[in-house]
Amino acid sequence: MYTFYHYPRCSTCVKAKKWLNEQGLEYQAINLADAPPTSDELKQIHATSNKAIKALFNTSGQSYRNGGFKDRLASMSDDEKFAELAADGMLIKRPLLVGPNSSLIGFKIAEWEQLLG
């Protein structure tokens, strides 16, 4: 069973959800704005994603711009980064698909097919 973190008004999330349904995969959908992953959950997502922590940040979003993360990120500790992400679900790159041993950040069909296909 997968956990699908999304934002319902995000067009990329809508495409990803449609793709998941077409594949017949079972998942639990969680609205990132209402229930973002905890700092510990984000650490696990990061560990199983094979990506840099910065990949978890929605760099084109309002929360990222308003928080000045472009200038702040380089000087923040990993714990501070995870705490900021956990505090504001809109700061997180979406969608996230979290499985038992792997995590996908953003929706790139080739990556999703490779992992799930």
Residue 117 pLDDT > 90: no
Residue 83 pLDDT > 80: yes
Give the model's confidence band at 20: pLDDT under 50 very low, under 70 low, under 90 confident, else very high: very high
Strand runs labelled E in 71-116:
96-98, 103-105
Residue range of the domain that includes 15 = 2-116
What pTM, to 2 d.p., does this model score? 0.94
CATH of the domain at 71: 3.40.30.10
Q: Give the type of residue at 103.
A: S
Q: Name the phi and psi angles at 25, rounded to 5.
A: -80, 140
Omega before residue 37 within 30° of 0, cis: no
Q: How far apart are CA 76 and CA 71, in angstroms?
A: 10
Q: What is the pLDDT of residue 115?
A: 87
- Alpha carbon distance, N-terminus to C-terminus of the chain: 15
Q: Which residues contact 60 (CB under 8 A, 6 or more apart)?
A: none
Question: What total of structural domains would you count in the chain?
Answer: 1
CA distances from 23 to 2, 11, 15, 31 (A): 13, 19, 12, 21
Mean pLDDT (whole number) for 64-73: 96
Are 109 and 20 in contact by the 8 Å Cβ rule? The answer is: no
Helix (H) or strand (E) holding 107: none
